[in-house]
Chain A
């Protein structure tokens, strides 16, 4: 652009300053949450808030002692892991077939599931699962969370399969390779990075999902996210514990997201944007 170099220098500096400012706005609330979780109980509700304090792990200890936090965590892992595996098992072959034969229903249905409000599905599911006495079961949670994971798997994997040159498949077919074998031996290894990205995104979104377990879990199968609702009730007296719970719940998705950050945007925008 037409301008003096010194002019551009200044703008670069302003740019950096503004970026640092934006970064601070983004980071501060989260940092505050983590900080509060390490405050002693009498200091966490001090007003004005204290910025300098001796960090303690008291809140985390109380959390594990006074609430079934660990079993909630295990429930979350079972549901999240189960629905991710379920989504991959169903979604990967479906995405492969959709890419090869150019059928569109998997993509369309995935989009529909992405657009409709969760309660729309939850109403009939509630009736259905009550009929077969499955409310509160792990399977009800895994199946409903698979409605989150399956579309993610299909949408993330479709472009990966589309990118494999068709000549590879055709050559394998000429050699007498069946579609099963082509999928298992050729296509899947070629999209292994796509599988990793889709698995991680499916895991994160299943972990984060609140609505279904809010209604379909019981006291035995309650996930961390659904349980956080209880923590808030108790949290009015115990902010430190609330922030400790929030920090632990946020940790898995944040770590996983950091791992796939480079592929995240194209995965999250259903391939509409190449990030």
Chain B
């Protein structure tokens, strides 16, 4: 492992990370499993910067003489000497200041996301995450006025909008309308129903929470299947929101399996 800390390795690690980032952002839509669509340019930029840094560093490292400007002489400059003294000093105090020596070892961890991306290939959050988090979704406060639904036949609608209309629409625009929702299947503990679900993210998958609509009248498909379910809203019978978690309900009439969409989150 003599090469563990050499300059070539550092740059190779940077290049590998840059490759992985470009692989999921520039050359596929995998990044949509993790972040919002608008994030793509930043990811491509970051990946490109990592690649450029790594490649430039490699060229410098392999070019004898001219490479690594002033490295040898300046590494032994007084400032560095002091930094070392200080580091050792705090280590003697027992605090184990790890900055100086931690760098090399901890930088190896930058390989971990690459391993995760290529070996586990993490998919979009599915029924496991959705079943785990029972937090009621926030009311869609931003939509104060709901436009009336127009046109014939079933209306395609994001699940978030369906929930908003179901809870907050005073004009009850959903009444009697056939709607079509797209999401994945989450089993329910209650008999005779399951949830068509979409995760909503604000920034990245770490802040995701599920938007669920309970579907009745259709046999539950296997968990995590992506489906398009058509049906009509079942108006709630309670006047005021009860305590605990409640989901709006849909009386299902039609079910179709679909492929996982490119953009799995709402």
Asked if A and B are interacting partners, one says no
